[in-house]
Structure 1
Amino acid sequence: MAMQLPPIDVQNLRLMAFDVDGVMTDGRLLFGPNGEELKVFNTLDGHGLKKLAASGVTLAIITGRNSPMVAKRAADLGIKHVIQGREDKGVALEALADSLNMRASETGYAGDDEPDVSALLWAQLSFAPNNAHDCAKNAANHITVRRGGEGAVREICDAILALRSPA
């Protein structure tokens, strides 16, 4: 079952930013034998992100943690705007949008927990995975059917693309 967005003007969406842990991943932290942090990303999500970027939407990642895996995943997907180590995602999103000469009305965000709430409230279009914390779900415009790290990002991308495509 796909998420159905209400009839909103996504034609003006120019920037879509995503949190990582709990949105692009399932939120678990995995550690290797030498203490290295590992992350699992969904290839379906990656393809959705590439399609969304190809439609003209600028993509960004805003995450509270610092991780070389996030930088690697972003590079693999061609995502140039990567902000790591930021606890207040709203401040980071607003600053990024400002640097790109974009307004909140042209911005979307997907997040899953308390540090994401300010960004979810600032952006015109906001999403939380269905397994997000209640504070994020209450702040978001839309809740995905799929869980974070299990296709939620692809669901978001597909929903936006469906409304951007001519009927």
Structure 2
Amino acid sequence: MQIDANIAAKAQKIKFLILDVDGVLTDNRLYYSDDGIETKTFYTRDGHGMVMLKKSGVDIGIITGRKSQLVANRCRDLKIEHLYQGVPDKLPSFLDLVSKLGLELDEIGYVGDDILDLPILKRVGLSVTPADGEDEVKSRVDYVSKYIGGKGVVREVCEIIMRSQGTFQQHMDFYLRDLED
């Protein structure tokens, strides 16, 4: 993976990554059953990227405008403790999280796909949108992923951060290790 020097310099500083859900962790579609049950699809490689990133020492949070039990369940599965749901104006939740964490803005990365993400995207150290993010967002972020929402954008960002911080190889070494009899 070739990483632009400017993006790598920003990614080296990241201690906390915040993600939107719809259009970032999912394909931006909502599915409803006849009885009104909402479902979403999550990409497992994105999930594993988050697991590796957390093991590398970068924590993760989620701020989403919608509220659903499935997102809470996914966060529980991935051991994501910082979850803000049902917040269409995301900036107050972001500022609350920054205050709780005691981090500098350049130590925070954010991945968002729509204009409601712009108040956060313009404040963080590394701002990213998926390849299918809104044009108004694409023109205002540090990096436009080569992947669309729900299909690898989060994994790519996690790998960019880990590679820039020199922690990716430890995960490769773990999976490529020789097992002794």
TM-score of the pair, normalised by structure 1: 0.94
Structure 2 residue identity aligned to 1:4: I
Q: Structure 2 regions of 5+ residues with no counterpart?
A: 170-181
Separation (CA, whole Å) in 2 of partners of 1:15 and 1:29: 27
Q: What is the CA deviation profile of residues 14-70 of structure 1, one whole-angstrom value per residue up to 9, with x for unaligned ones? A: 110000000000000100121011010000000000011111111000000001010
SS of equivalent residue, structure 2 residue 122 = helix
Larger CA deviation: 4-13 vs 140-149: 4-13
Separation (CA, whole Å) in 1 of partners of 2:142 and 2:2: 12
Determine if the alignment matches structure 1 residue 121 to structure 2 residue 122: yes
1:120–1:9 distance in 2 versus 1, CA, 3 Å: closer
Aligned to 2:139: 138
The offset of 1:9, in angstroms, is: 4.4
Q: Is the 8 A contact 2:12 2:161 kept in 1?
A: no
Q: Is the 8 A contact 2:43 2:150 kept in 1?
A: yes
SS of equivalent residue, structure 1 residue 139 = coil
Aligned to 1:49: 50
Q: Structure 1 regions of 5+ residues with no counterpart?
A: none
Determine if the alignment matches structure 1 residue 91 to structure 2 residue 92: yes
Following TM superposition, the consecutive aligned residue runs of length 4 or more in structure 1 with deviations greater than 4 angstroms are none
The offset of 1:3, in angstroms, is: 6.6
Structure 1 residue identity aligned to 2:166: S
Larger Rg: 2
1:3–1:81 distance in 2 versus 1, CA, 3 Å: farther
Aligned to 2:172: none
User: Mapping of 1:10-159 within 5 angstroms?
Assistant: 10-159=11-160
Structure 2 residue identity aligned to 1:103: E
SS of equivalent residue, structure 1 residue 87 = coil
Q: Is the 8 A contact 2:10 2:106 kept in 1?
A: no
SS of equivalent residue, structure 1 residue 71 = helix
Q: Is the 8 A contact 2:11 2:160 kept in 1?
A: no
The CA RMSD over aligned residues, in Å, is 1.5
Structure 1 residue identity aligned to 2:127: S
1:28–1:3 distance in 2 versus 1, CA, 3 Å: farther
SS of equivalent residue, structure 2 residue 52 = helix
Q: Is the 8 A contact 2:10 2:125 kept in 1?
A: no
